[in-house]
Amino acid sequence: MNQTTFKGHLFLLAESTNKDVSPALAALWFDKFGALPDELLFAAFGQAIDTCKFFPSVAEFNAIVTLVRRATGDPDATRPEDEAAALLRKVARYNPDLGIVNDGTRGLLLARGGDRGEDWDGSGFTARERAVLRLFGGAVRAAAWDDKDVQFNRPRVIEAFAALAVDDHLAARVAAGGRSVADLQAEAAKRRLG
């Protein structure tokens, strides 16, 4: 989207929320959101005009953009927390959301044997889930977690999905080689700093 069109939509949003937009604020918003696809921005500005009582902060508009991405089915809009919850629901023995013991997938994984149950064709794991499972020793090992293990490892699983989301070629290397969570976190931190 060109800068003139972007500023026009920004000023419409500002007008609907009774906000005066300074040139510096308009430049900040264009730097932050100007590279997004036009259709996404049109939908996000429309959503903001419809739902915001006050002029949104950059963080609030970022959340609106993420919601619009999810609504359109954009695979990049998946939150690491959601991915971690879905994975833990598949492998954990105790499912706190449903309050039941998940012996279905767990039983299949344990019956499969070996330490790489996630590689089984019928496992139903996505490539990203497989990569994260390898970091934790495989699906069979994760399937043996009790509720305390799940609670302990949930933040680490979320961090692993977040690191994979930041760096796609790191995800490919992890999926191919199976590395530790510490290696993944250290490499992601180096990329952020350098």
pLDDT on residue 116: 56
Q: pLDDT exceeding 90 applies to what percent of the chain?
A: 17
62: which 2 tokens? Answer: 């970022």
pLDDT on residue 98: 46
pLDDT on residue 20: 92
26: which 2 tokens? Answer: 């308009």
Beta bridge partners, 94, equal: 101
Mean pLDDT of the chain: 75
C-alpha distances out from residue 146 to 31, 88, 99, 140, Å: 46, 11, 13, 13
* One-letter amino acid for residue 111 of the chain: A
Q: Which residues of the chain have pLDDT under 70?
A: 73, 75-78, 92-123, 165-185, 188, 192, 194
pLDDT on residue 71: 76
pLDDT on residue 172: 57
